[in-house]
Amino acid sequence: MEAFEVVNEGIGMQIEFIWRKIREPVIVPMLRVAVFLCLGMSLMMLVDKVYMGISICLVKMFGRKPEKRYKWECFEDDLELGNSNYPMVLVQIPMYNEGEVYQLSIGAACGLSWPSNRLIIQILDDSTDPTIKELVQVECNIWGSKGVNIKYEVRDNRNGYKAGALREGMKHSYVTQCDYVVIFDADFQPQPDFLRRTIPFLVNNPEIGLVQARWKFVNADECLMTRMQQMSLDYHFKVEQEVSSSAYAFFGFNGTAGVWRISALNEAGGWKDRTTVEDMDLSVRASLKGWKFLYLSNLQVINELPSTLKAFRYQQHRWSCGPANLFRKTAMEIFASKNVSLWKKIYILYSFFFVRKIVAHVNTFVFYCIVLPATVVVPEVVVPKWGSVYIPFVITLLKSVGTPRSFHLVSFWILFENTMSLHRTKATIIGLLEASRVNEWVVTEKLGATLKAKGGGKVSKNIQLKIGDRIGMSELCVGLYLLFCGSYDVMYGKNQFFVFLYIQSIAFFILAFGYVGTVVPNS
């Protein structure tokens, strides 16, 4: 009888009737389970960040510098042997339509301080733009005429993307002369002494398979979005990589600004394109073979951060989807490995993959953007203050120490990370389920910020912005959801969550309409 009366009252009464019927038996129990799971994930993240904080303090306190942990002797010219005491080094620079940065990267590689007869520069050009292809080839010819041993290599397909290009590059006959291979992405500019500071660690320590340098961002101050990226990446490089290298001699290769022992690379199976994080894949396989990795935090290589929202989204999709998919494919292999200790297995599976690559993304979005706002509408479910306030505060504080100059931007950083967690969570789920877009590879677009910084001229890239391209429906929907929950809290709530909900909804709206990052006007 009640249901019949409700049908006659209209859509509003029907929705209210359905809500009352499912609230107690369905919504409340489900939300309580969600809160319990999210609090558990928050504790995992807290323990990881506290452990990292304590470890980095101990590393700095006891001065565990690479030179003290490993043998290191600089190379000196020998009057009798000449340059033969220098090992042969291959430098690989994969490129794809890098019209804005190709000159800088090629010039920096050719300017490395190393005997010219012991160095091979290999430009792996997958460009599809014939004009850019011709410009890159001309640049290679110019350096070749100056006595630089530079090879311009192309292939007739883009199979495997970057991994495929690097794999093909290793097949050339001249590579057999080389003992070590250095990889630089097209926007990376190493200092001339890069090889003299990295190669000695590999030469004097046969157990080391990889030496990784730190990234330094030339356009961090270009806009607020690049400042936010710097805060996240500085924590990764200054804390996570440093601790991982010191405590476990394992970390994920960052795909660039690193030197591999070619024998270690080959023993691990070489480059594979089964995921979009070929660098991390190679790191895991090499580690399972017993190779150690070394991170040099005092050696910095400048590069460019993506400064447009579109480029940043594509990058974050690849960086979130790839690790989750790699975890799915290698978890059992890691667990069954006999070449690494149990402690190292636990670190790789639990801390490196599960907590940082899966839990961190999923919990940030689900807890702070879905579950916590939902408790406003369902007041029967209470989130303890330690879970909603204290844990997030401590985690944020520990992560922000990497960039002290940007500490005043922490509030904006939190809002930005929460909004981007939507895309990271979606990408993580795609990787875990191996759904569509799991192997999507879009090269991160560079706008030539390094070129502008060097005074090389204006950026010529044109970006056409259409209304359809600018509106992000996912962010818009989440923003409306947060706005509704915030308004409900104003009218009926008692916990004053509406302050956070309103501000976070504004952040989602800003992202939804594309008002983040730089916009390059048409020339």
Q: Which residues of 67-104 are buried (b: 16+ CB within 10 A; e: fewer)?
A: eeebeeeebeeeeeeeeeebbbbbbbbbbbbbbbbbbb
Distances 522 to 452, 464, 469, 488 between C-alpha atoms, Å:
17, 8, 17, 44
The partner residues of 517 in beta bridges, in order of sequence, read 308
The answer to whether 76 and 117 are in contact (CB under 8 A) is no
Q: Which residues of 130-157 are buried (b: 16+ CB within 10 A; e: fewer)?
A: eebbebbeebbeebeeeebbbbbbeeee
Separation between Cα atoms, residue 100 and residue 63, nearest integer Å: 40
Neighbours of 179 (CB within 10 A): 15
E strand segments, 58-140:
89-95, 119-125
Separation between Cα atoms, residue 212 and residue 51, nearest integer Å: 22
Residues designated catalytic:
126, 279
Ramachandran region, residue 64 (left: φ > 0; alpha: ψ -120 to 50; beta: rest): beta
CB-hemisphere CA count at 13 Å for 91? 28
Query: What are residue 112's phi and psi, to 5 degrees?
Result: -65, 135
Cα dihedral 192/162/180/257 (nearest 10) = 40
Separation between Cα atoms, residue 36 and residue 372, nearest integer Å: 12
Structure tokens at 277: 């994080």
Separation between Cα atoms, residue 509 and residue 295, nearest integer Å: 39
Q: How would you classify the pairing of strands 208-217 and 258-261?
A: antiparallel
DSSP assigned state of 522: P
Neighbours of 515 (CB within 10 A): 11
Query: What are residue 123's phi and psi, to 5 degrees?
Result: -95, 115
